[in-house]
Structure 1
Amino acid sequence: MNKEWKVFLSAIQFLTRIRVPAGIDHRAEYLRQAPKYFPVVGWIVGAASALFFLLFTRYISTDAGILASMVTSLLVTGALHEDGFADVCDGFGGGWTKEKILQIMKDSRVGAFGVIGLIMLFGSKYLLLKELPAFLPEAGQTSRLIFYHYRYFILALIAAHSVSRLMAVLVMQAGTYVSDPSQSKSISMTSQRLSAGSIGLAILFALAPFALLPWPYLLTVIPALYVTSALYQYFYRWIGGYTGDCLGAVQQVTEIVIYLGFVVVWRYF
């Protein structure tokens, strides 16, 4: 249990800006096992985002709550995944060979494709999150129990953050890492795949939030899997595998797909 705790803290340290105990020795063996806890880190990010959504919604407005939830996610993760998404937009938008794409993605500067991609990303996320509260079962009713009133919205945030991180883990297990290992901080994770048991545990963690939702919401995982497969095939066709930036792009895109799935399920099921 002590080892698993250290593995979990390694996952938190890798994916977020949350401070972990200084005495934790983050060995390479812990990092290799850390991806199985990525969906749990998604719980934490989603819960923090939901908390600030509720706070700002209660005292200001729903729009302010949505903005607060997005900012919270950025602050908790240090915009790690958004940075990867922007690099992917720049690399695949401006490069026509594997070498050029990888070179552009390593550049710390953000180009036109990255800026446009981030504008579309944040705009899509905001508009979809704005739609979700409108389909609450108790929409239009007032309630002092704000956690209960917005329970589906909270679970949607947690599920989206959790499942989207599982999608990145699945790409890591199925694909080939193509960046220069000597310049990668994630080499310990990408050099060895998880066991079948660890993958199964990650899947259980990712799907756990759906246990508190009606079953149709589980359908949102299907398009997320499809988009993940399509993205990886696209990456493989151009660069022969994936990079850490590609994983960030997978997480961000599938998070939006989950939100879109929730809107569709709420509207038509």
Structure 2
Amino acid sequence: MSLREEWTVFRLAVQFLTRLPVGEPAWSAERMALTPRWYPGVGILVGLISGAAFWAGAPVSPLFAGVAAVAAGVLATGAFHEDGFADMCDGLGGGATRERALEIMRDSRLGTYGVLGIGLLLAGKVAALAVMGPWTAAAALVAAHAGGRLSAVLVMATAPYVRDHGTAKPVERGAPGWGLGASVAAAALVPAALLVPWGAAAALALLALSHRLVRRRFERRLGGYTGDCLGAVEQAGELAVLAGIAACL
């Protein structure tokens, strides 16, 4: 594939996962099917934005900086992944059957499980960031956003999509070239590894654990994944990486 074509695929990935302005990249089903390999790259971009917000908020207090970083990530993505996490909490928490769980997850209204889940998730991210200095936080945010998206890509590469239509339908044909995404995510971890070596190791371990636990939960209940499940495993991955680095400071 030419560099120009790859650039178009990357821009489509940015357009799909964020609200960042990328112009109007030429859309096609074939190009969209290739976008998952660039999801960790999009994560690096969002992580840099969040890291800049942390630096901007650091003079106020570490806690304020953590809130600013998380808010910047939410604004950059339009809460795309957070919405999926909340919907999966509602669906798996309130649905007694597979069919009912899928019905609840499609409902745009937010329930008790979703509110509690997203509240605890965001609090966990802010708490982890609040113990970091600006350089460490910036490196951790880049690693977290890339690692979380790699976790979602691995689900796409190894599990079936269970809906006939939905947000993730355009990219439900696996994740061709996912090795590129893994390489990008590995590169995103390098700055954190240089600053906090044991933290990077702990982040990888917790990322793998979160991936296993979250996907085990939704695959047992649904027999595969939905777009909401991808958002959930991505958000769990972000928190896992931040927690791993924070724990080793």
TM over 0.5: yes
Report the Cα distance in structure 1 between the residues aligned to 2:167 and 2:118, rounded to whole angstroms: 24
Q: Which residue of 1 aligns with 2:55?
A: 54
* 1:63 to partner: Cα distance: 2.2
Task: Tell me, yes or no, if the aligned pair for 1:49 and 1:70 is still in contact at 8 Å.
Answer: yes
Q: Confirm or deny: 8 A CA contact 2:20 2:76 kept in the other structure.
A: yes
Aligned residues: 243
SS in 2 for 1:89: helix
Corresponding residue number in structure 1 for 2:148? 164
Percent identity over the alignment is 37
**1:92 corresponds to 2:92:** yes
Report the AA paired with residue 66 of structure 1.
G
Q: Equivalent residue for 1:209? A: 188
The gaps in structure 2 that reach 5 residues or longer are none
Aligned match of 1:37? 38
Any conservation in 2 of the 1:89–1:117 contact (CA below 8 Å)?
yes
Paired amino acid for 1:179: R
Alignment of 1:99-248 (within 5 A): 99-133=99-133, 150-181=134-165, 184-190=166-172, 192-195=173-176, 198-212=177-191, 213-214=193-194, 215-219=197-201, 220-248=203-231
Deviations 1:127-170 (A, max 9, x none): 1111223xxxxxxxxxxxxxxxx322211110001001000000
Aligned equivalents of 2:221, 2:152: Cα separation in 1: 18
- Amino acid in structure 2 at the alignment position of 1:26: W
- The separation in 1 between residues aligned to 2:174 and 2:118, in whole angstroms, is 31
What is the one-letter code of the residue matched to 2:200?
A: L
Aligned-partner residue type, residue 40 of structure 2: P
Q: Which moved more, 1:46-55 or 1:223-232?
A: 223-232
Q: Does the 8 Å contact 2:160/2:224 carry over to 1?
A: yes
SS in 1 for 2:58: helix
**Corresponding residue of 1:259:** 242
Rg comparison, structure with higher value: 1
Q: Distance in 1 between matches of 2:113 and 2:190?
A: 39
- Residue identity opposite 1:177 in structure 2: Y
Deviation at 1:31, TM superposition (A): 0.8
TM-score (norm: length of structure 1): 0.86
TM-score for the superposition, normalised by structure 2 = 0.93
Q: Residue 29 of structure 1 contacts residue 188 of structure 1 at CA under 8 Å; is this kept in 2?
A: no
Q: Give, in whole Å, the separation in 1 of the partners of 2:61 and 2:239.
A: 22
Taking the aligned partners of 1:63 and 1:152, their CA distance within structure 2 comes to 14
Aligned match for 2:14, one of 7, 12, 15: 12
Closer, same or farther in 2 for the Cα pair 1:211/1:123, shift >3 Å?
Answer: closer
Structure 1 residues not aligned, in runs of 5+:
134-149
Structure 2 CA distance, aligned partners of 1:243 and 1:40?
22
Q: Distance in 2 between matches of 1:230 and 1:240?
A: 15
**Kept in 2: contact 1:11–1:37 (CA 8 A):** yes
Is the CA contact (8 Å cut-off) linking 1:210 and 1:217 kept in structure 2?
A: no
How many angstroms apart in 2 are the aligned matches of 1:194 and 1:106?
Answer: 24
Q: Deviation string for 1:151-196 (max 9, x for gaps)?
A: 2221111000100100000001011111222xx2322211x2233x
How far, CA to CA, are the matches of 2:175 and 2:94 in structure 1? 34
How far does residue 21 in structure 1 lie from its aligned partner after superposition?
1.4
How far apart are the structure 2 equivalents of 1:66 and 1:218? 19
Contact 2:39 2:153 (C-alpha < 8 Å) held by counterparts: yes
Offset of 1:93 from its aligned partner?
Answer: 0.6
- Amino acid paired to 2:126: Y
1:42-92 alpha-carbon deviations (Å, 9 max, x no partner): 11111001111111223x332222111111111000001110011011100
Cα separation, 2, equivalents of 1:94 and 1:185: 21
1:137 is matched with none
In 2: Cα distance, 1:51 partner to 1:223 partner: 25
Q: Could you tell me whether the CA contact under 8 Å between 1:156 and 1:262 is conserved in 2?
A: yes
